[in-house]
Amino acid sequence: MIHLAPSILSADFLQLGKQIDQVKKGGADYLHFDVMDGVFVPSISFGMPVLENVKKSTDLFLDVHLMITEPEKYVEKFAELGADMVTVHLETLKDPDAILARMHNTTAKVGLAINPATPVEELLPYLHKIDMAVIMTVQPGFGGQSYLSKCTEKIEKVAAHAKTHKLDELLIEVDGGVKLDNVETPLKAGANVIVAGSAIFLGDAKANTKAFVKELQTFEK
């Protein structure tokens, strides 16, 4: 199954509850939640209080992406507050094996992300220890950027590694610059979780979600 994860980073926060309801009615099953600290990435977004309240208002799968330094200080708390998936960045981890083991002791599934500049070969040794690999296809920190085509090969390599090593349940998420007119590229490469922000929330969120879901369903067939 291919999942659509609308990113609320691009949502109108005065209408957040309404827009979350719209993407659910449009057929989305995930909700992407970007946490940015202004250090690992240049922007600051939102954190635990927002997640706690979003959790109360929706039963969508909450896909929490920690773009922060020292994520080991916070992974348990985000899980406690309702994250269904917590993703950390490989670039921030001094001891990846230790933090991934700790994360598996929470109620949340475990994701591991890499930035465009990080070779995918650094991610491959950890695929058997995670639930989701996240390939950033833009420089993290801002919404509305264009998809970096050079990252498509990374998706292909993760998918090939997963197939070779029989990691059939591995989720491969693509985050950044994905729109209706280019979503076929990461899907053909092997992605099965698509993050979309401005392509969903700039305009009619329900209609945009429906269009995306229809495209994903077409590809699955």
pTM over 0.85: yes
In the annotation, is 29 catalytic?
no
Segment 137-159 shows an average pLDDT of: 90
**In the predicted structure, residue 3 carries a pLDDT above the cut 80:** yes
pLDDT band at 50 (very low <50, low <70, confident <90, very high): very high
Using CA atoms, how far apart are residues 81 and 87, in angstroms rounded to an integer?
A: 15
CA dihedral 46, 146, 25, 36 (to 10 degrees): -10
Pick the catalytic residue: 21, 29, 34, 37? 34
**Rounded CA gap, 206 and 196, in Å?**
13
Spatial contact of 112 and 88, defined as CB atoms under 8 Å apart: yes
Pairwise CA distance, residues 112 & 196, whole Å: 18
- Please compute the mean of the pLDDT values over residues 8-22 and round it to a whole number: 96
Would residue 84 show up in a list of annotated catalytic residues for this protein? no
pLDDT for the residue numbered 145: 81
pLDDT level of residue 141 (50, 70, 90 thresholds): confident
**Phi then psi dihedrals of residue 161, to 5 deg:** -65, -45
Whether residue 219 is predicted with pLDDT greater than 90 in this model: the reply is no
Q: Which of 37, 84, 131, 175 is catalytic?
A: 175
